[in-house]
Structure 1
Amino acid sequence: MNRRDFLKTTALLGGGALMMTGWPGALLAQETPKKGGTLIWGHSETTQSLDMHVTGSASTLRLLENIHCPIVTVDKAFNVIPMLAESFEESPDGLTYTFKLRKDVKFHNGKTLDSADVKYSFDRVRDPKTGAVNFEVFKDVTAIETPDANTVIVKLGRVNAPFLSRLAENGAGVIMPAGSGEGQANMPVGAGPFKFVRREFGHEVELVRFDDYFEGPAYLDKVISREITEPTVRLTGLRTGELHMINDIPADRVTEVEGIDTLQTLKWFPLNFDFLNFNHDFEPFKDARVREAFDLMIDKEQLLQGALWDQGKLTASPSFPTSSSYDAALQQRPQDLDKAMALLAEAGYGPGKLKLVFKTTTNYPYHVESAQIMAEWFRAAGVEMKIEQLTWADWLSQVWVNRDFQISMMNFFTLWEPDFLYYSLWNSTGAFNYRNIKDAEIDALTQQARGTVDPVARADLYKKVQQRIHDQTLDVILWFRNGTIGAQKTVGGLDTIVHPNGSNLRFHKVWLNT
């Protein structure tokens, strides 16, 4: 069923390029890069704390990727490769990692990178007082040694198979100048291709080229990120030329933009996965029967068409689709309102007895539409639900930080590394477990996976985790969403902009052909 047919056959809403799997490679037309100019980027989200060790917001990380560099990174095939490190070595017993640092790296404050900066950064993430979202990456670290200015030795108390790959993702391995932590939230200082200049909160951020960047200076003089969360306003800015590029073309306008001669588009799969969240401390959702009932109320295909305009693909597994941990055999539950109502009645919630507040953020308009569609299905199953629309900052404060919610919806950006995905989101101590999930079996499996070196055996453990998430309906996994960028034809190097993780954007090799 396409979107047009969906709108004809349901009253739920009241009336109302280039496709690649994984990382978008160099497939767009190439020209000779030019130096200079200021790129105006229509950023679809509002940045939060600019401290890359602390922030858990993918929208903020997307910007900070241009200011900071990690000690290691990944290539297009997700192989861990050196970055600020010149090389790295793992001991045969998996308990010692030795990093040799590059000698040509300068921070934006003029300081040359050395081992003290690495130790400082790792210790800062490890320290509970910092509030780093990736604190548990260093859970097994027993010592960090710096025998000389260019050598760092990290010792573990037990094998942690994903340790290196976790350093390559989401800021865990980002190196900051020693002693700079206190000021990072408002004035980030890193070793990346652009320096932070200023921020007008909720409006725009200005970055300027760092000429001493160790991989060579960027082509652009500046990047200005204008935070425009309203999709139509963002698209209008692109069409009028006020903006050079935007991320997240409105789902219902992608085809239209692809047909405009003055614009170019980039589309890749996937950008993120979306899922329905239950607060497991809310009494009704402590009962697995109630959670399963809500899963059974949802027609996933109609939801994909109605809210996302078919700009994605259904999935029951949140694993990156090319990952060995992706369980293709796992199937979503089909809609069955009668069974849903029977489960609710069995749990003591007959028609009209369960009343909920669904907190969603206007930062993702398709989440609001999803909530509106689901509200009708929930109502048909005897559940009364009020939708509360929150700004991104309020959603983060209420749902993410304070866990003050009953039911919600969120997306996570690919999370290709399975430990990052499953430990962070579903382990009871995971940094991203804002749903208060406490499942002893998942805790044991995710910890076991950390100590399992064999990749096949590790992937099998993560498949067991997925099965447990599904069987207990800890969350409802909905779909993978496409990533999209629209840009003026004058923007060069667009094919280089998307990080292999499918989320972060990097402007180092982007230029303006004007």
Structure 2
Amino acid sequence: MKRRDFLRNSTAIMGTMAIFGTAIPQAVLAQETPVTGGTLIWGHSETTQNLDIHQTGTASSSRVLQNVHSSLVTVDADLNVIPDLAESFEVSTDGLTYTFKLRPGVTFHNGAAMTSADVKYSFERCKDPATGAVNFEVFNNVASIDTPDDLTVVITMSSINAPFLSRLAENGAGAIMPVESGPTQGTNPMGAGPFKFVRYEVGTVVELARFDDYWNGPAFLDGVLAREITEPTTRLTGLRTGELHMINDIPLDRVSELQGDASLQVKTWFPLNFDFINMNHTYPPFQDARVRVAFDMIIDKEALMQGALWGQGATSPSASFPTGAAFNKSLVQRPQDIEGAKALLAEAGHPEGSLNIVFKATTNYPYHIETAQILVEWFRMAGVNLTIEQLTWADWLSQCWVDKDYQMTMMNFFTLWESDFLYYSVWNSKGAYNYRAINDPIIDQLTEQARITVDNAARADVYKQVQQQIWDQSHDIILWFRNGTIGAQPSVKGLDSVVHPNGSNLNFHKVWLAA
């Protein structure tokens, strides 16, 4: 079916839902005893960028590196913070002191035993501006890191930072690496995870090998080959021919087809990530909230989701996890109102035909290109000339993320279930992920207030106010949450253990291959 026909004929309305299931051939359902051996060949949908877990801001790199590193703490299935490399942790009643007891006998990939000195080194490196760590602000309130003995770490805060523990559990902030290993992490990542780094051929493959001395028991697989195959059809063909054991990101228009194929396993879950349209706030038209709101009014989010995602997701006016306490349920998407948008643009000094916007979209996410193509017609109807510039992933990161050289773009964020990570990093004027140059004093004040609000319910209410401000000002146009998908050969076992509770990271510690 052509996309235009799909959009014309699509009438299904997909509300917020929860999906976490696996379609598995009946022959696979029998309980089997795991066996050791074999290399899993994974068709990775994205290009790995930076191998230094402190510096990387991309989920593509994190999915690989999370198998190389272990963190001081992690989260369980309900996103509660639990010990990982720490055996236990305590927080003082005033919220200013964190004491971690480390697991004895943890070994790094270089054979060195992990001690408190490694924790101190890792956290001070992440905090150091010279490192260029994306999670530097996690440690802004850290006054001191003391190591009274080899297995004890005491972190003292200069002021309360209520989300500190949960921030350590996400996106590499709590990853522990050997003392003085920082300079080589970008070319030879080293940690205490279940797999050790072997090699990286840029844009082609990352190879990992089982680390037999992993503290939580060795993996079953001999290794993992993460083959970088960004073209969806090529990735799917590799799975069908048996060249690949597993792929993530099944082409969105083929998910239903594969779910009906008894020869393959299909795993889907909700959500994988949220998508939003970005407007560069340094570009004069977008410094006017009326223009941003008008652009929001141009878009029919449900039709766009059906057309670009083939229904594999659910629209949302908020970037907060749909099941999280901080999700602002009172927000609703602005309905499409072309005439209202035209009037608002004219009021802002942009009559029909006068506004020309370049939309930079990365081919790394084909549905971003499809989204932009659908938007062109709606924007034409509203009197805005929208043109598309297609970029490779590397060029998008260089131009949009680093240089902020764009007018309008689109991006998705993964693993931002933790509200401080989400709202401080992405919308605070000092946030590491604020590549749109948003500078809203109300959001800055609220995200700082949340950090010193110890009561969980009260902190959730603060984040609901942040969401309201983002929506009121249309700082970004939040579109939807997208489903996650994995396709695998029947020989891949332990597939239910792969997806991290954050919905994005993949872990191969408990995966095995049938003989």
Relative to 1, partners in 2 of residues 1:394 and 1:4: Cα closer, same or farther, differing over 3 Å? closer
1:457-513 alpha-carbon deviations (Å, 9 max, x no partner): 101000000000000000011000000000000000000000010000000000001
* CA displacement, residues 291-318 of structure 1 (integer Å, 9 cap, x when unaligned): 0110000011110111000000011111
Deviation, structure 1 residue 7: 3.8
The answer for the alignment partner of 1:166 in structure 2 is 167
Tell me the equivalent position of 2:13: none
Aligned to 2:504: 503
Distance in structure 1 (CA, Å) of the matches to 2:415 and 2:149: 37
Contact 2:23 2:259 in 1 (8 A): no
1:375 and 2:376 are equivalent in the alignment: yes
What is the deviation of 1:25? 9.6
Residue 43 of structure 1 corresponds to which residue in structure 2? 44
1:41 Cα deviation from its structure 2 partner: 0.1
Q: Where does the alignment leave 5 or more consecutive residues of structure 1 unmatched?
A: 11-18
| 1:6–1:302 Cα contact (<8 Å) kept | no
Q: Which residue of 2 aligns with 1:98?
A: 99
In the alignment, is the contact (CA less than 8 A) between 1:3 and 1:309 conserved in 2?
Answer: no
1:81-480 → structure 2 map (5 Å cutoff) = 81-480=82-481
- The aligned counterpart of 1:493 is 494
Change over 3 Å in CA distance of 1:162–1:258 after alignment to 2: same
Q: CA deviation at 1:21?
A: 3.6
Q: Distance in 1 between matches of 2:4 and 2:265?
A: 25
After TM superposition, give the deviation of residue 379 of structure 1 in Å: 1.1
Distance 2:108 2:9 in 1: 58
- Unaligned 5+ segments in structure 2 are 11-15
Distance in 2 between the 1:242 and 1:513 partners? Answer: 16
Give the aligned CA root-mean-square deviation in angstroms: 1.7
State the Cα deviation string for residues 391-445 of structure 1 (Å, max 9, x = none): 1111011101111110000001141100000110000000100000000000000
Distance 1:227 1:477 in 2: 28
Structure 1 stretches of 4+ with a deviation exceeding 6 A read 22-28
2:23–2:265 contact (8 Å) kept in structure 1: no
Q: Is residue 26–residue 495 contact of structure 1 (8 Å, CA) maintained in 2? A: no
Structure-2 separation of matches of 1:262 and 1:165: 40
CA gap 1:316/1:56 in 2 versus in 1, 3 angstroms: same
Q: Is the 8 A contact 1:275 1:479 kept in 2?
A: yes
Number of paired residues?
505
Q: TM-score, normalising length from structure 2?
A: 0.96
Post-superposition shift, 1:6? Answer: 3.5
State the SS of the aligned residue for 1:205.
Answer: strand
2-structure distance, mates of 1:3, 1:377: 15
For 1:443 and 1:23, the matched residues in 2 are separated by: 35
Distance 1:354 1:392 in 2: 27
The one-letter code sitting in structure 1 at the alignment partner of 2:488 is A
Task: Give TM-score, length-normalised by structure 1.
Answer: 0.96
Amino acid in the other structure paired with 1:234: R
SS in structure 1 opposite 2:377?
Answer: helix
Per-residue CA deviation, residues 348-389 of structure 1 (Å, 9 max, x unaligned), is 111111111100000000000000000111111111121011
Q: Quote the Cα distance in structure 2 between the aligned partners of 1:259 and 1:23.
A: 17
| Structure-to-structure mapping, 1:23-62, within 5 angstroms | 29=29, 30-62=31-63
Whole-angstrom CA distance in 2 between matches of 1:379 and 1:276:
17
Q: State the alpha-carbon separation in 2 of the partners of residues 23 and 98 from structure 1.
A: 36
1:146-201 Cα offsets, whole Å, 9 max, x none, are 11111110000111000000000000000000000000011100100000000100
Indicate if the aligned counterparts of 2:22 and 2:265 stay in contact, CA closer than 8 A.
no
In structure 1, distance between residues paired with 2:186 and 2:376: 38
Flag the 1:319–1:401 CA change in 2: closer, same or farther, 3 A: same
Return the offset for 1:3.
Answer: 6.9
Change (3 A) 1:20 1:290: closer
The letter of the residue matching 2:105 is D
Q: Percent identity?
A: 67
Q: Distance in 1 between matches of 2:393 and 2:307?
A: 22
Match of residue 483 from structure 1: 484
Residue identity in the other structure for 1:218: A
Q: Structure 1 CA distance, aligned partners of 2:72 and 2:194?
A: 15
